[in-house]
């Protein structure tokens, strides 16, 4: 996976030659492969719609998937897609020019969901839920139009952990973003191949490769969001006990229904002693 010859994808043409970056790249590629294999994401000959927002996470996703395909390790067709949601001052030329330069097959779609969100969401409320629903609906439509079997998103390990904590504190349930699911209509997979990748690694990876980051000025402009609060809490825990995030994330892969309280997952009422003593 190291760039010691000229046969590399253009996305890595300006990759740093440092040992540190090579280790970072190798780790992210390995973790992505592990998630793809462990959660059964590959359908040979399938076509994936790779969603590109212009943030560090989606750039990392695109680059690593292209890397795997370039090396013959991902036998699917990739189509990068950016949904321009009509946000004010959105630099509409950045992603098309970047994707053209990198030789990446892509589709740019304009759909003004920004105006809908601003109109429908009361002042002081967060935009994220409605924005996400509208974006997802359009991405599903585009995937169908392009003959894709999966919509591929750039959510990473920390997104999943933060979502779990938000559901725990505010939603009253134990749930997070799954690495693989089927949409409600039953015709598309949704994949998150960066499930094992840390946010800090995505940030360093995209920064080292100098990808043109586009900030989100819709939800990112609001203070006091629940996710920001959870992130700050996890940051503090991580600072006090390095590795805490990874330990917590491992717990999501090590559930014990018999040691929780959900009778739908475990038959507590029907639990018997295999060899009860006479009384």
174-223 per-position pLDDT tens digit: 999 999 999 999 999 999 999 999 999 999 999 999 999 987 655 544 44
Q: How many domains does the chain have?
A: 1
Which structural domain range is residue 73 located in?
A: 10-259
% of the chain with per-residue pLDDT over 70? 92
SS3 25: helix
2 located within any domain: no
Write down the pLDDT at residue 118: 78
The answer on pLDDT for 228 being more than 90 is no
Q: How confident is the model at residue 279 (pLDDT cuts 50, 70, 90)?
A: low
In a domain, residue 275? The reply is no
Residue 153 forms part of a structural domain: yes
Non-local (6+) Cβ contacts of 129 within 8 A are none
Higher pLDDT, 79 or 124: 79
Report how far residue 108's alpha carbon sits from residue 206's, in angstroms, rounded to the nearest whole number: 21
Distance, CA of 29 to CA of 32 (rounded, Å)? 5
Residue whose tokens read 């990112």? 220
CB 87 within 8 A of CB 131: no
63 sits in which H/E element: helix 56-70
On whether residue 264 sits in a domain, the answer given is no
pLDDT of residue 1: 43
- pTM of the complete model beyond 0.95: no
CATH code of residue 181: 3.40.50.620
């Amino acid at each position: 996976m190291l760039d010691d010859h000229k046969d590399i994808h253009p996305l890595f043409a300006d990759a740093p030659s440092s040992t540190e970056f090579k280790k970072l790249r190798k780790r992210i590629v390995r973790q992505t492969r592990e998630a793809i294999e462990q959660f059964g994401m590959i359908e040979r000959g399938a076509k994936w719609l790779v969603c590109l927002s212009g943030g560090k996470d989606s750039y990392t996703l695109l680059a690593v998937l292209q890397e795997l395909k370039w090396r013959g390790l991902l036998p699917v067709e990739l189509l990068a897609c950016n949904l321009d949601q009509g946000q004010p001052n959105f630099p509409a030329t950045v992603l098309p020019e970047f994707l053209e330069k990198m030789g990446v097959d892509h589709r740019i779609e304009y759909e003004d969901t920004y105006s809908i969100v601003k109109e429908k969401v009361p002042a002081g409320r967060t935009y994220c839920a409605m924005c996400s629903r509208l974006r997802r609906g359009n991405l599903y439509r585009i995937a169908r139009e392009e003959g894709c079997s999966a919509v591929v998103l750039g959510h990473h390990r920390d997104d999943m952990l933060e979502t779990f904590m938000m559901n725990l504190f505010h939603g009253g349930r134990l749930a997070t973003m799954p690495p693989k699911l089927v949409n409600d209509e039953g015709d598309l997979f949704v994949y998150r191949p960066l499930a094992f990748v840390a946010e800090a690694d995505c940030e360093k990876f995209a920064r080292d490769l100098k990808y043109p980051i586009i900030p989100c000025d819709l939800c990112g402009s609001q203070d006091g969001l629940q996710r920001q609060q959870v992130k700050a809490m996890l940051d503090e825990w991580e600072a006090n006990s390095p590795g805490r995030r990874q330990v917590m994330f491992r717990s999501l892969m090590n559930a014990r229904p018999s040691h929780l309280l959900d009778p739908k997952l475990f038959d507590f009422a029907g639990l018997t002693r295999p060899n009860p003593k006479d009384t």
